[in-house]
Amino acid sequence: MRVSILLLLFLAAQMVAAQQPPTSVASPAGSNPGAAKLTAQLPAQDLTKLPMGKGLPVTVRVGIDFQRVTAFDDNEGTFTGTVDMRLRWEDPRLRYPAETIPRGFQEYRGPEAEQKMKEVWTPPVDFTNLKGPPSYQATSLRIFPGGRVEVMQRTTGQFAIPIDAGAFPFDKQTLSVDVTVRRETTGEVSLVVLQEDIDFSRPAQDLVIDGWTPGLVSIKRYTEPGWYGEFHSGLDVGLTVARNAGRVIGIVFIPLLAALFIPMLAIWMNSTEEGEFQIDTFELANIVVGGLFAVIALNFTINSIYRSVSTGDNTVTRLFALNYVALGLGLAVVVLLYRYNVAKRLFGRYVQEQVYGYLSWAVPLLAFGTALTFIFVAAS
The predicted pLDDT at position 273 comes to: 78
Q: Are residues 362 and 259 in the same domain?
A: yes
Our CA dihedral for 301, 303, 305, 309, rounded to 10 degrees, sits at 150
User: DSSP characters for 149-178?
Assistant: EEEEEEEEEEEE-----TTTTS-EEEEEEE
CATH number assigned to the domain comprising residue 155: 2.70.170.10
Measuring CA to CA, which residue among 196, 133, 156 is closest to residue 67? Answer: 156
User: Is-cis flag, bond preceding 169, omega within 30?
Assistant: yes
pLDDT band at 137; cut points 50, 70, 90: very high
Please say if the pLDDT value at position 289 is more than 80: yes
Q: How far apart are the first and last CA of the chain?
A: 125
Number of domains in the chain: 2
pLDDT category at 282 given cuts 50, 70, 90 is confident
The whole-number average pLDDT for the span 213-236 is 94
In a domain, 52, yes or no: no
Cβ atoms of residues 194 and 149 within 8 Å = no
Q: With 90 as the cut, is the pLDDT of residue 298 above it?
A: yes
Q: How many residues in the chain?
A: 380
**pLDDT over threshold 50, residue 17:** no
Q: What percent of the chain clears pLDDT 70, i.e. is strictly above it?
A: 88
- How far apart CA 108 and CA 95 sit, in angstroms, is 16
Query: How many Å apart are CA 73 and CA 279, to the nearest integer?
Result: 50
Which of 196, 213, 243 finishes a domain? 243
User: Does 18 score more than 60 pLDDT?
Assistant: no
Do 86 and 195 belong together in one domain? yes
Looking at the structure, tell me whether residues 166 and 278 fall in a common domain: no
Residues 272 and 358 in one domain: yes
Radius of gyration of the chain (CA): 40
| Domain annotation covers residue 21 | no
Q: Are residues 119 and 216 in the same domain?
A: yes
Q: In what order do the strands lie in the sheet with 231-243?
A: 125-127, 172-181, 231-243, 212-225
More confident call, 39 vs 212: 212
Predicted local distance difference test score (pLDDT) of residue 365: 95
CA–CA gap between residue 26 and residue 33 (Å, rounded): 8
Residue 361 pLDDT: 92
Task: Give the residue with greater pLDDT, 36 vs 75.
Answer: 75
Cβ neighbour number for residue 17 with a 10 Å cutoff: 9
Please report which confidence band the pLDDT of residue 58 belongs to, taking 50, 70 and 90 as the band edges.
very high
Q: What is the model's pLDDT at position 15? A: 52
Range of the domain at 228: 58-243
**Spatial CA neighbour of 66 closest among 221, 241, 245:** 241
How many other C-beta atoms lie within 10 A of the C-beta of residue 245? 18
| pLDDT at 308 (0 to 100) | 86
Q: Using one digit for the tens of pLDDT, what is the confidence trace for 152-209?
A: 999 999 999 999 988 898 999 999 999 999 989 999 999 999 999 999 999 999 999 9
- What pLDDT does residue 36 have? 39
| 132-165 b/e (C-beta count within 10 Å ≥ 16 → b) | eebeeeebbbbbbbebbbbbbbbbbbbbebebeb
Q: Which pLDDT band holds residue 240 (cuts at 50, 70, 90)?
A: very high
When the pLDDT of each residue in the chain is averaged and rounded to a whole number, the result is: 86
Alpha carbons 176 and 22: distance in angstroms, whole number = 73
CA separation for the pair 89, 62 (Å, rounded): 9
CA distance 317 to 76: 19
Report if residue 362 sits inside a domain. Answer: yes
Task: Identify whether 197 is part of a domain.
Answer: yes
Residues 349-358 as b/e (b if ≥16 CB within 10 A, e otherwise) read: eeebbebbee
Listed residue (378, 300, 314) closest to 164, CA to CA? 314
**Torsion sign across C-alpha atoms 222, 227, 229, 230:** negative
Choose the weakest-confidence range: 174-178, 246-250, 320-324, 371-375: 246-250
- pLDDT at position 40: 41
Whether 229 and 292 map to the same domain: the answer is: no
Mean pLDDT score, 67-84 = 95
pLDDT at 11 over 50: no
Q: Is residue 26 part of a domain?
A: no
Residue 33 lies in a domain: no
Going from the C-alpha of 255 to that of each of 108, 250, 252, 263, 285, the distances in angstroms are 59, 8, 6, 14, 21
Strands 58-73 and 189-192: parallel
What's the confidence (pLDDT) of residue 249?
86
Closest by CA to 98, choosing from 146, 50, 62, is 146
pLDDT value at 9 more than 70: no
**More confident call, 65 vs 343:** 65
Is the domain of 130 the same as that of 144?
A: yes
From 243, 268, 303, the end of a domain falls on 243
What is the chain's percent helix, strand, coil content, to nearest 5?
45, 30, 30
Taking the C-alpha atoms of residue 352 and residue 277, their distance in angstroms, rounded to an integer, is 10
Q: Does residue 238 sit in the same domain as residue 322?
A: no
Domain final position from 243, 264, 283: 243
- Same domain? For 265 and 227 the reply is no
- What's the confidence (pLDDT) of residue 184? 93
**258 and 148, same structural domain?**
no
For the chain, percent of residues with pLDDT exceeding 90: 63
Residue 38 lies in a domain: no
